[in-house]
Amino acid sequence: MSILLKSPVDALSEYVRQSSVSADPNFNAGVKGAREFAQARLEELGFEVNLISTPIHPIILATRGDPSWPRLVIYGHYDVQPPDPLDLWTSDPFDAVERDGRIYGRGAADNKGPQIVHMSALARVFKDIPDYPLHITYLIEGEEEIGSPSFRSFLEEHKEKLSGDMLLVSDTGSPGPDQLVVTTGLRGLCAMEVKVFGPSQDLHSGVHGGALLNPLQALMRVCSSLHDAEGKVAVPGFYDAVQSPEDWERGELAKLPITEAQYSKFLGISEFSPPPGFSALEGIRFCPTLEFNGVGGGYQGEGSKTVIPSEAFAKITCRLVPNQKSEDIAYKVKQAIIDACPSAVRVEVEIKGGGDPYVVIPPGKPGSTGKESELMKKAFSVAQDCIEECFNSEPIFLREGGSIPIIQDLKEVAGLDSLMIGLFTNEDNLHAPDESFHLGMMNRAITAFEKFFRKLV
Amino acid sequence: MSILLKSPVDALSEYVRQSSVSADPNFNAGVKGAREFAQARLEELGFEVNLISTPIHPIILATRGDPSWPRLVIYGHYDVQPPDPLDLWTSDPFDAVERDGRIYGRGAADNKGPQIVHMSALARVFKDIPDYPLHITYLIEGEEEIGSPSFRSFLEEHKEKLSGDMLLVSDTGSPGPDQLVVTTGLRGLCAMEVKVFGPSQDLHSGVHGGALLNPLQALMRVCSSLHDAEGKVAVPGFYDAVQSPEDWERGELAKLPITEAQYSKFLGISEFSPPPGFSALEGIRFCPTLEFNGVGGGYQGEGSKTVIPSEAFAKITCRLVPNQKSEDIAYKVKQAIIDACPSAVRVEVEIKGGGDPYVVIPPGKPGSTGKESELMKKAFSVAQDCIEECFNSEPIFLREGGSIPIIQDLKEVAGLDSLMIGLFTNEDNLHAPDESFHLGMMNRAITAFEKFFRKLV
């Protein structure tokens, strides 16, 4: 019997133990292990599994069912974020320790837990209905956490295999195991790395200090110019294409069962700093950002070292909202950095992967086109029913702050719109130490998705 | 026969191989090794050696000669800077490899080479004149590269042992082996570490970005506020006590056999950024600075990680000129940082060790008091002669950019003024990868100091 039927918890644990950090070649064995784990589960479920090679980590493409049936595509990713800072983890990030009703480990919630939910639900359905009348294409990539650099060209090449009626994704968040969100939009992303170069090597700050511009000083001046005093992004043209949220979206947001006081306590901060005119929760879902994800230069060790460093770097990502374009914003930020950099140092800006923001208006909501596929219409309605039944509350329809750039790519290239059902929560610590997945959420979600798949056909 | 007489090069190599990084407890064995090496050499030279314990690394205090003779104190330090970034070294920083007429290694020039020069010269003199009629006190500390935190209290406790007519120091720089500098002043130093704290842990920048202030953004804004657009330090009151240089000092500086073009080429920079109204070389010797020695926060590894970091840090040092006071400036900078920090994050500023600037006007130069000790007067005159004879050029009398905070302490507490003869050069890469000491400089200097010690009595 498949481990998915026997014990979804064991399946998740085994998946988490594969340390599939896509950003770091030292984890290549773990990446391979996670990929093989996912392949094996899909084969057990009766999928025909193909591996599509890319310049970095191959994409799993698997199909099941008659091509003439309604076509569902399911997306996930088998790679995870780097685990550091390691010293802040209670248990090893790849030990998959069970504690307090959770499985702890990097990737437990993002995205391995939700994948186990889908697969376990399908395992139950297929056991009853071996000829389950839906053509399902599974698409699980291994480069999501590094910005899916190979995905767009994969998509162009294989788009006919991905044609279908809709996409199902569970790689978004919900308030908790009593309240799910159906995600109606995702922020886009653009990433870049800035390097500032000064003297050809680190210099003694006494022997040379006073003659030249310190690259850290230059970098910090440049970076500081990218926000204004109120915290708004100060890059020329950054907000030009930004659309205001719809009234119904603000209304849905107000249903979120979390107060600002609870949220600030959860974050451990004394006050929020949302963009002017927005609440903290609105800032995340409706506004673009420019964040410094990592900055470094000079002496990083204990004690002091009186150097003027030779170079300094900043890793920057912007989160984008409709109708900003990733390429356009990356270019504007790069230009602002180059314009702000003093001539006494040399600056390099490398634009990394990115993706455009995505919005799907649920069928029937104000603004929907009415042109959705029959499967999509049914899926939204069935999902709402099953969530209400299993989670004892209506889902909230909300855009979210995170990014899955390939969702917009799949819409543009393969014409697929997405039903996104959020299964992880703030308490799951995504991208942070002590990431975990809530087993209560997992069990409810498996039941809900089992019902969903049964009612969908 | 002492290694100092047999081969000063071998002595230096053995000294460099003791990896005496005072900032890092992992190097404690190397610190002990270097201390024991220096002790052994002083014992061979007939010194009575005492070890004065401190909270970190003991101070070597050694004496030789009749207390009624004229009294000379010689200062050095047996500790070295951290060697990182290790990957930029051509050979291991503690292998003491000889290459192109230099010994390469951390501490080769700062300060082990110059110490070997003094000791080797004394070894030759003592061999000839066992009862060399000068009372010499050797003072070699092990905490110079971490700001000499134990020195001041050591000094207060042992000041009577340090009473004397003058101090001799070779821990400053010269243009090259054809042109020495007699150092007439040192910049002071104050050091601090700034930490900015945001959320209680690293956060996913998609899930939470837009609600809160990123600690890196706050830190960079704070740090950028510490300089104005022209590069001057923007801390209120920072320049209040600064004295302009004397005309003769600008005159001496003009004698330096280095052009700005040569210097910028050496540094590998396209343009200088001196304070307004000063040349690059003047900026180093006559102006105070505020430098960022290390800044960090967030993801430091390969690729990208979309986090909002929990905290960020900056290591800052200021170089000070007469009559700035280290404590006063540290307080002013700390206050400016606290004032500039947004309330949405928490800031901590820890003030580390420091020291006041020091100036000695050479006897006979405009501004000298005429109250110098007889030994001091003779030493300046003899030094000038010996340098001219051995280096074929008159020394230049110049303040320097570096700091040896204990020099001013020794003046204040023990009344000692200093003759400082610079033996390292820009090409020696102090505090940087591939530090080395020039063996031609070493041999000339040993000969010059041998003559100096012979003529001094």
Residues from chain A contacting residue B211 (CB–CB below 8 Å)? 263, 267, 272-274, 280-281, 283-284
Sign of CA dihedral B66, B71, B76, B77: positive
**Do the chains contact at A210 and B269, CB–CB below 8 Å?**
no
**Do the chains contact at B298 and A292, CB–CB below 8 Å?**
yes
- Residues 418..437 of A with a Cβ closer than 8 Å to B: which? 426, 429-434
B85 touches A at CB < 8 Å: yes
Measured between CB atoms, which of A147, A274, A298 is closest to B293? A298
- Which of A111, A187, A196, A205 would you mutate first to test chain B, the one with the most B CBs within 10 A? A205
Whether A274 maps to a domain, the answer reads no
Whether B314 and A32 have beta carbons less than 8 Å apart is answered as no
Same domain, yes or no, for A197 and A344? yes
Task: Give the CATH number, domain containing residue B10.
Answer: 3.40.630.10
User: What local confidence, expressed as pLDDT, does residue A368 receive?
Assistant: 83
Same domain, yes or no, for B74 and B122? yes
Residue A351, H or E segment: strand A346-355
Query: What is the rounded CA–CA span in Å between residue A20 and residue A28?
Result: 7
For residue A92, what are the domain limits? 3-187+357-456
A86 touches B at CB < 8 Å: no
A392 touches B at CB < 8 Å: no
B42 touches A at CB < 8 Å: no
Query: What is the rounded CA–CA span in Å between residue A272 and residue B161?
Result: 59
Q: What are phi and psi of A12, to 5 degrees?
A: -60, -45
Overall residue count recorded for chain B in this entry: 457
Query: What is the rounded CA–CA span in Å between residue A44 and residue B355?
Result: 72
Query: What is the rounded CA–CA span in Å between residue A409 and residue B289?
Result: 51
Task: Give the CATH number, domain containing residue B299.
Answer: 3.30.70.360
In the block, tokens 């680190």 appear at A202
Query: What is the rounded CA–CA span in Å between residue A426 and residue A39?
Result: 29
In the block, tokens 């499985």 appear at A103
- Of B355, B379, B402, at which residue does a domain stop? B355
Residues from chain A contacting residue B212 (CB–CB below 8 Å)? 267, 269, 272-273, 280
**Helix A151-158, helix A405-414: angle, nearest 10:** 20
**Do the chains contact at B205 and A400, CB–CB below 8 Å?**
no
Q: pLDDT tens, A269-307?
A: 999 999 999 999 999 999 999 999 999 999 998 888 889
- Give the residue ranges of chain A where pLDDT is below 70: none
User: What local confidence, expressed as pLDDT, does residue B367 receive?
Assistant: 77
Query: What is the rounded CA–CA span in Å between residue B73 and residue A225?
Result: 52
* Gap from B103 CA to chain A (nearest CA, Å): 19
B273 touches A at CB < 8 Å: yes
- Of A326, A355, A384, at which residue does a domain stop? A355
Whether A282 maps to a domain, the answer reads no
Same domain, yes or no, for A376 and A308? no
**Do the chains contact at A203 and B346, CB–CB below 8 Å?**
no
Same domain, yes or no, for B203 and B344? yes
User: What local confidence, expressed as pLDDT, does residue B404 receive?
Assistant: 86
Count of CA atoms in the C-beta half-sphere (13 A) of A129? 14
Query: What is the rounded CA–CA span in Å between residue B46 and residue B44?
Result: 5
**How many angstroms separate the Cα of B110 from the Cα of each of A180, A289, B404, B444?**
64, 47, 12, 18
Of B215, B213, B299, nearest to A431 by C-alpha is B299
Measured between CB atoms, which of A312, A402, A434 is closest to B206? A402
User: What local confidence, expressed as pLDDT, does residue A432 receive?
Assistant: 87
**Do the chains contact at B431 and A204, CB–CB below 8 Å?**
yes
Whether B406 maps to a domain, the answer reads yes
Same domain, yes or no, for B300 and B446? no
**Do the chains contact at A303 and B206, CB–CB below 8 Å?**
no
Query: What is the rounded CA–CA span in Å between residue B424 and residue B117?
Result: 11
- Which of B81, B208, B352 would you mutate first to test chain A, the one with the most A CBs within 10 A? B208
B88 touches A at CB < 8 Å: yes
Residues from chain A contacting residue B284 (CB–CB below 8 Å)? 207-211
User: What local confidence, expressed as pLDDT, does residue B238 receive?
Assistant: 98
- Of B331, B355, B379, at which residue does a domain stop? B355
Find out whether the peptide bond into B426 is cis, omega within 30 degrees of 0: no
Query: What is the rounded CA–CA span in Å between residue B22 and residue B440?
Result: 29
Local structure of A134: helix, strand or coil: coil
Same domain, yes or no, for A104 and A94? yes
B292 touches A at CB < 8 Å: yes
Buried/exposed A338-354: b ≥16 CB within 10 Å, e otherwise: eebbbebbebebeebbb
**Do the chains contact at A210 and B284, CB–CB below 8 Å?**
yes
Whether A7 maps to a domain, the answer reads yes
Chains A and B: how many Cβ contacts under 8 Å? 346
Same domain, yes or no, for A329 and A418? no
Whether B409 maps to a domain, the answer reads yes
Same domain, yes or no, for B40 and B183? yes
Whether B283 maps to a domain, the answer reads no
User: What local confidence, expressed as pLDDT, does residue B304 receive?
Assistant: 81
User: What local confidence, expressed as pLDDT, does residue B147 receive?
Assistant: 80
Whether A95 maps to a domain, the answer reads yes
Amino acid identity of residue B288, one-letter, is: P
pLDDT in tens, chain B (457 residues): 789 999 999 999 999 999 999 999 999 999 999 999 999 999 999 999 999 999 999 999 999 999 999 999 999 999 999 998 899 999 999 999 999 999 999 999 999 999 999 999 999 999 999 999 999 999 999 999 988 889 989 999 999 999 899 999 999 999 999 999 999 999 999 999 999 999 999 998 998 999 999 999 999 999 999 999 999 999 999 999 999 998 899 999 999 988 999 999 999 999 999 999 999 999 999 999 999 999 999 999 888 888 999 999 999 999 999 999 999 999 999 999 999 999 999 999 999 878 899 999 898 888 788 888 999 999 999 999 999 999 999 999 999 999 888 899 999 999 999 999 999 998 999 888 999 999 999 999 999 999 999 999 9
- In DSSP terms, A72 is beta-bridged to A136, A166
Of B81, B106, B109, nearest to B294 by C-alpha is B81
Query: What is the rounded CA–CA span in Å between residue B274 and residue B231?
Result: 8
Local structure of A350: helix, strand or coil: strand
User: What local confidence, expressed as pLDDT, does residue B366 receive?
Assistant: 82
Same domain, yes or no, for A118 and A234? no
Measured between CB atoms, which of A267, A306, A309 is closest to B208? A267
Domains: count for chain B: 2
Whether B436 and B102 have beta carbons less than 8 Å apart is answered as yes
A280 touches B at CB < 8 Å: yes
**Do the chains contact at A432 and B268, CB–CB below 8 Å?**
no
Same domain, yes or no, for B293 and B407? no
* Gap from A417 CA to chain B (nearest CA, Å): 21
Measured between CB atoms, which of B269, B288, B352 is closest to A344? B269
Query: What is the rounded CA–CA span in Å between residue A197 and residue A333?
Result: 19
Amino acid identity of residue B134, one-letter, is: L
Measured between CB atoms, which of B146, B291, B307 is closest to A431? B307
User: What local confidence, expressed as pLDDT, does residue A322 receive?
Assistant: 93
Same domain, yes or no, for A99 and A198? no
Query: What is the rounded CA–CA span in Å between residue A213 and residue A211?
Result: 7
Residues from chain A contacting residue B272 (CB–CB below 8 Å)? 211-212, 344
Same domain, yes or no, for A346 and A426? no
Whether A175 maps to a domain, the answer reads yes
List the structure tokens of A52: 């599509």
> Order of strands across the sheet with B289-298?
A346-355, A188-197, A311-320, A289-298, B289-298, B311-320, B188-197, B346-355
Surface-to-core class of residue B128, CB atoms within 10 Å of its CB (0-12 exposed, 13-18 middle, 19+ buried): exposed
Phi-psi region of B237 (alpha: psi -120 to 50; beta: other; left: phi over 0): left
Measured between CB atoms, which of A210, A216, A342 is closest to B274? A210
Query: What is the rounded CA–CA span in Å between residue A96 and residue B245?
Result: 66
Count of CA atoms in the C-beta half-sphere (13 A) of B33? 15
User: What local confidence, expressed as pLDDT, does residue B369 receive?
Assistant: 80
